[in-house]
Amino acid sequence: MSPASPSPTSQPLSQLLSRTADAVQAVREGRSLTDVLARCPAELRGGTQALSFHVLRWMGSAQAAAKLMVPKNPPPAVDALLTTGIALLWPVKDPPYPDHTLVDQAVTAARKRTPANAAFVNAVLRRFLREREALVAAAQRDPQGAFNHPPWWIERVRKDWPQQWQAVLQASNEHPPMTLRVNARHGTAEAYVARLAERGIAARVLGALAPQAVVLARAVPVTQLPGFAEGEVSVQDAAAQLAAPLVVGRNLPTEAGAPLAAGARVLDACAAPGGKTAHLLELADLDLQALDSDPTRLTRVKDTLDRIRQSAQLSAADARHPATWWDGKPFDAILLDAPCSASGIVRRHPDVRWLRRNSDIGNLVRTQSELLEALWPLLKPGGRLVYATCSLFKDEGQAQVDAFLQRHGDAKSVQHAPFTGHLLPLPENPGMAAEPAAYDGFFYALLVKT
């Protein structure tokens, strides 16, 4: 089952609602949804993930409506179940369950979770159904209720994108497509779409911006993808597929330098989970060092490289401290996919907006700056560094690069539209009008050492 599209499963809905409420409560307490789902029983994980994604996308609206009906906060476990129920009853196209079924099963879940509050849950959810139109209108007068993001996030997007802020926030609530990257060593996107058609899986080639990208009409388990286990295809958003061609030098302007020669030394500075690392090796024969500060996450990079039958030097170290991992030989190219707010990929990770705090952004900006400062001396003259973040916030993108350029006279920013700059999932992006919704929010800068 796709996490983007909740639908009935063989598991009792009351169990899924209870698990989903647990997940909502955990996110409110600061735990990531990924960690919560990892502890969910296997038979309930898919359904819980699907419902949790839906609820977290509509949690701002549900909370606003709940406050109108219940001014005094109920116990956290009850509040989480109410939020879950209201979010799933919110008027959307193709609701996951009939209203009466949802209310009945939410009350069943309440009897098992907090028996003394079952009648209260029943009363609130039935009131929401009776007064839904008026409650929805009232909830949407509150910014968080209207846009389903925290107020500080809404204000930051409004400040950064004054002409597009509402569209950007709305796009962040859309269901993302499942996008594949066809291994260039194994074939073309067109040929792979034909293979999928033979399996009854509808898909299309994305286009010239990401020539190896294939977008599925609906998400499917990777076990159904022909050649996945053999490394012939991987799951990767289209925007993330723009990084590797910038690094290896596919169709770049002259001032960005020549394409990398075979055996070129390349650093992937923050490599986990390994999607961009793999893409680099699919495009060119490189002497690649993949670095990540988390040894556990680095094992995911190795697993990915094993699956595509490629290898790299893997190092568990903090890229900000080259003395602990660098051999002194300069790199021809560096990919810095820096830690960031992940504000550009919240449609895929809807818990991120509720986990982040405004104060996090300043800390992340400092880390990004420290990484740029540490890695720039490791680059050969004439080499290029690709700085990337999956963020919509300008402080983590253009403002970060502008400050770096002011500090480094030997750095030149090469503009290569639409690949560099801030990428938003909007038709206004140059070259993306045909498929704006296929791209997550990203920022790319192409820096050349003069």
How much of the chain, in percent, has pLDDT values that exceed 70? Answer: 95
Per-residue pLDDT tens over the stretch 366-403: 999 999 999 999 999 999 999 999 999 999 999 999 99
Residue-level pLDDT at 436: 52
How large is the average pLDDT for residues 65-69? 97
Residue-level pLDDT at 209: 82
List beta partners, residue 79: none
Per-residue pLDDT tens over the stretch 327-351: 999 999 999 999 999 999 999 999 9
Examine the pLDDT at 87 and tell me if it is beyond 60.
Answer: yes
Helices (H), 115-242: 118-130, 132-139, 143-147, 151-160, 165-171, 189-198
Examine the pLDDT at 289 and tell me if it is beyond 80.
Answer: yes
pLDDT range class, residue 322, cuts 50, 70, 90: very high
Q: Show the tokens assigned to 386.
A: 């690709």
Examine the pLDDT at 4 and tell me if it is beyond 80.
Answer: no
Residue-level pLDDT at 191: 98
Q: Is 270 a catalytic residue?
A: no
Helix (H, G, I), strand (E, B) or coil at 244: helix
Residue-level pLDDT at 43: 94
Residue-level pLDDT at 88: 97
Residue-level pLDDT at 2: 39
Q: Show the tokens assigned to 138.
A: 């009232």
How many angstroms separate the Cα of 168 from the Cα of each of 14, 145, 254, 360?
34, 16, 33, 21
pTM of the model: 0.93
Examine the pLDDT at 125 and tell me if it is beyond 60.
Answer: yes
Examine the pLDDT at 25 and tell me if it is beyond 90.
Answer: yes
How large is the average pLDDT for residues 112-132? 97
How many angstroms separate the Cα of 322 from the Cα of each of 141, 212, 315, 340?
51, 34, 11, 21
Lowest mean pLDDT among 170-174, 241-245, 270-274, 427-431: 427-431
Q: What is the 3-state secondary structure (H, E, C) of 412-431?
A: EEECCCCCCEEECCCCCCCC
Contact 281, 247 (CB under 8 A): no
Residue-level pLDDT at 414: 97
For 314, list phi and psi in degrees, rounded to 5.
Answer: -100, 130
Residue-level pLDDT at 95: 87
How many angstroms separate the Cα of 415 from the Cα of each of 26, 253, 421, 440?
42, 9, 8, 20
Residue-level pLDDT at 108: 97
How many angstroms separate the Cα of 179 from the Cα of each of 56, 219, 247?
22, 9, 21
Gyration radius of the chain over CA positions: 23
Kind plus residue range of the DSSP H or E element containing 406: helix 398-407
What does the chain come to in residues?
Answer: 450
Residue-level pLDDT at 417: 85
pLDDT range class, residue 8, cuts 50, 70, 90: very low
Residue-level pLDDT at 71: 87
How large is the average pLDDT for residues 21-29? 97
Contact 168, 424 (CB under 8 A): yes
Per-residue pLDDT tens over the stretch 182-238: 999 999 999 999 999 999 999 999 877 899 999 999 999 999 999 999 999 999 999
Residue-level pLDDT at 206: 87
List beta partners, residue 331: 379
Whose CA is closest to 149, among 174, 177, 175, 172? 172
Per-residue pLDDT tens over the stretch 388-441: 999 999 999 999 999 999 999 999 999 998 899 998 876 555 445 456 567 899
How large is the average pLDDT for residues 81-107? 95
Task: Please give the mean pLDDT across all residues of the chain.
Answer: 94
